[in-house]
């Protein structure tokens, strides 16, 4: 066979298109991945987060205090969503990550403003994420120059030649704004997801490609027993990875660690739930796909929204509402809150209740789906 034939080229071309069309997973990836990238980068990603949740405890119920809060909300950086009855309740909201700013207005605020006696308000900013904290701190710092202008016209006891009050800003949990304190704990979630989901996603497909599935089918074991036997070694792998990452995080980056037994119990509970959830998800993927290549493609497809919608790369509260809804479905979102809250805020089980329940729910749902799929293959 010699020469150059367009007929033979066309035959190979048609064959490749036919094979691509039959490989539905690869075909879907070609179409969905660019669309997902466009939507995520175009609509969801926000490097200047706004409308972050805030709480205000005002011991002064005069019009000056109300005008101050209204001016703060007009900056669009924060939305006052909580009016706790005490500082203790507001501290709990901060520790649980439900608010990014806690503002305290003292009882003599109006009186001191009218006297020109340099009134002060306290602003406590959650600085675990330096990006979000920077915008909030800047918005609060601008209050003395912008607030109470109309209210003070003719109301002050003496002319005001300087800002009528000052803001005392406390950056909590990461006062120096060290980026590694936020990124390095989050890397544990990404590393565990990438390795565990991908490894277990190839568990069943590897058996098929190597021709050992027949031996597995001949074993007197149920689908659930086979799944447990395959996943237990990877649990040990996940725990080993966690120990290595946390040790290096402490030695190389001086990341704070939990200092109480209750803190370590809470962190360990979150780690175990997250590891088992990822393993169950990977095993579920392996029961759906037909090759290791497809398993890897699905795993990478899962990782993209996990990176962008979980709060790892961009502040979660700065995402649009639809992106936050999608992000709440992703287990990495909840594990990021758990590990950052444990290491930086000293959270315990009571502070992590919602996120731990979310991880438990994810594990139950994925396990049920996996067993249902496995029965058609192994039983």
CATH of the domain at 97: 3.40.1710.10
How does residue 307 score in pLDDT terms, banded at 50, 70 and 90?
confident
Residue 297: half-sphere exposure toward Cβ, Cα within 13 Å: 18
Asked if the model's pLDDT at residue 265 lies above 70, the reply is: yes
**Averaged pLDDT of the chain:** 84
Distance, CA of 106 to CA of 101 (rounded, Å): 16
Dist CA 357 CA 360 (whole Å): 5
Whether 209 has a pLDDT exceeding 80, the answer reads no
109 found inside a domain: yes
Q: Is residue 166 part of a domain?
A: no
- Domain presence at residue 10: yes
Q: How confident is the model at residue 203 (pLDDT cuts 50, 70, 90)?
A: confident
Q: What is the number of domains present in the chain?
A: 2
**Cα 154 to the chain's mean position, in Å?**
49
Query: 305 pLDDT exceeds 90?
Result: no
Angle (CA) 247-253-254 rounded to 5° is: 75
Q: Please tell me whether residues 187 and 147 are part of one structural domain.
A: no
With beta carbons less than 8 A apart as the criterion, state whether 153 and 111 touch. Answer: no
Residues 6+ apart with CB under 8 A from 196: 234, 237, 238, 275, 278, 279, 282
Residue 13 reports pLDDT greater than 60: yes
Sole residue written with tokens 């990836």: 29
Whether residue 331 sits in one domain with residue 203: yes
**Residue 167 counted as domain residue:** no
Q: What is the mean pLDDT of residues 307-332?
A: 88
C-alpha 241/C-alpha 356 separation (Å) is: 21
Q: Which phi and psi (to 5°) does residue 268 adopt?
A: -65, -40
Tokens representing 367? 């396990």
Q: Which residue has the higher pLDDT, 179 or 24?
A: 179
Spatial CB neighbours of 65, under 8 Å, sequence gap ≥ 6: 58, 105, 109, 110
Please write the tens of the pLDDT for every residue from 33-71.
Answer: 777 777 777 777 777 788 889 999 998 888 888 888 888
- Would 170 be classed as within a structural domain? no
Question: How confident is residue 163, by pLDDT bands cut at 50, 70 and 90?
Answer: confident
Q: pLDDT (tens digit, 9 = 90+) per residue, 226-236?
A: 778 888 889 99
| Same domain membership, residue 123 and residue 85 | yes
| pLDDT mean over 299-323 | 85
Mean pLDDT of 306-330: 87
Q: Give me the pLDDT at residue 157, please.
A: 47
Same domain, 213 and 276: yes
Return d(Cα 360, Cα 270) in angstroms, integer: 9
Residue-range definition of the domain harbouring residue 108: 52-152
Residue 379 lies in a domain: no
What pLDDT score was predicted for residue 216?
65
In this prediction, residues 7-22 reach a mean pLDDT of 75
Each residue's pLDDT tens digit, 335-375: 999 999 999 998 999 899 899 999 999 999 998 888 887 66
**Domain shared by 288 and 334, yes or no:** yes
Clarify whether residues 300 and 319 are in a common domain: yes
Q: Which residues, in sequence order, are bridge partners of residue 170?
A: 124
Would you give the distance in Å from CA 348 to the centre of its chain? Answer: 18
Residues 346 and 363 in one domain: yes
Instruction: Say how far apart CA 274 and CA 193 lie, in whole Å.
Output: 9
Q: Are residues 83 and 183 in the same domain?
A: no
Beta-strand relationship, 101-105 and 78-82: unpaired
Beta bridge partners of 104: 57, 122
Per-residue pLDDT, averaged over 146-157, amounts to 65
- Structural domain contains residue 225: yes
Query: Based on the domain organization, do 279 and 212 belong to the same domain?
Result: yes
Tell whether the model's pLDDT for residue 2 goes beyond 70: no
pTM of the model: 0.84
pLDDT (tens digit per residue) in 87-125? 999 999 999 989 999 999 999 888 888 887 888 899 999
Q: Within a 13 Å sphere around the CA of 22, how many CA atoms are in the beta-carbon half?
A: 7
Q: Retrieve residue 235's tokens.
A: 């649990």
**Buried-state track 40-63, b at ≥16 Cβ within 10 A, e below 16:** beeebbeeebbebbbbbbbebebe
Q: Report the alpha-carbon distance of residue 92 to residue 99 in Å, rounded.
A: 10
Both 220 and 325 in one domain: the answer is yes
By percentage, how much of the chain surpasses pLDDT 70?
88
Output the six-digit token pair for 326: 């999608």
Tokens read off for 72: 């703060």
116 with 157: CB under 8 angstroms?
Answer: yes
**24 shares a domain with 122:** no
- Whether the pLDDT of residue 194 is over 60: the answer is yes
Distance, C-alpha 89 to centroid of its chain: 24
Q: Residue 87: inside a domain, yes or no?
A: yes
Helix, coil or strand: residue 261: helix
**Is the same domain home to 28 and 62?**
no
pLDDT value for 269:
95
């Amino acid at each position: 066979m010699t020469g150059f034939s367009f007929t033979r080229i066309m035959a190979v071309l048609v064959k490749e298109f036919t094979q691509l069309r039959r490989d539905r997973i690869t075909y879907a990836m070609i179409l969905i991945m660019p669309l997902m990238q466009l939507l995520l980068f175009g609509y969801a990603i926000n490097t200047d987060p706004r409308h972050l949740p805030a709480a205000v405890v005002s011991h002064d119920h005069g019009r000056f205090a109300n005008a101050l809060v209204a001016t703060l909300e007009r900056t669009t950086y924060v939305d006052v969503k909580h009016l706790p009855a005490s500082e203790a309740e507001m501290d709990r909201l901060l520790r649980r990550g439900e608010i990014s700013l806690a503002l305290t207005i003292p009882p003599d605020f109006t009186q001191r403003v009218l006297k020109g006696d340099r009134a002060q308000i306290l602003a406590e900013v959650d600085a675990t994420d330096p990006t979000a904290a920077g915008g909030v701190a800047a918005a609060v710092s601008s209050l003395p120059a912008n607030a109470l202008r109309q209210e003070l016209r003719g109301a002050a006891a003496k002319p005001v030649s300087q800002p009528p009050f000052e803001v005392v800003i406390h950056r909590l949990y990461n006062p120096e704004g060290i980026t590694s304190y936020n990124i390095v704990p989050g890397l544990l979630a990404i590393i565990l997801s990438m390795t565990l989901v991908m490894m277990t996603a190839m568990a069943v497909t590897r058996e098929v490609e190597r021709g050992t599935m027949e031996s597995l089918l001949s074993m007197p074991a149920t689908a659930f027993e086979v799944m447990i036997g395959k996943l237990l070694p990877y649990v040990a792998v996940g725990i080993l990875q966690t120990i290595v990452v946390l040790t290096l995080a402490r030695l190389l980056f001086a990341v704070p660690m939990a200092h109480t037994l209750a803190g370590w119990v809470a962190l360990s509970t979150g780690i175990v739930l997250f590891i088992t959830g990822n393993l169950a998800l990977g095993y579920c993927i392996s029961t759906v796909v037909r090759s290791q290549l497809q398993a890897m493609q699905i795993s990478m497809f899962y990782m993209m929204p996990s990176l962008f919608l979980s709060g790892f790369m961009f502040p979660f509260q700065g995402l649009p509402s639809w992106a936050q809804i999608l992000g709440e479905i992703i287990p990495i979102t909840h594990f990021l809150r758990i590990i950052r809250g444990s290491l930086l805020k000293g959270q315990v089980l009571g502070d992590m209740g919602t996120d731990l329940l979310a991880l438990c729910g994810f594990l139950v749902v994925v396990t049920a789906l996996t067993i249902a799929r496995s029965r058609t293959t192994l039983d």
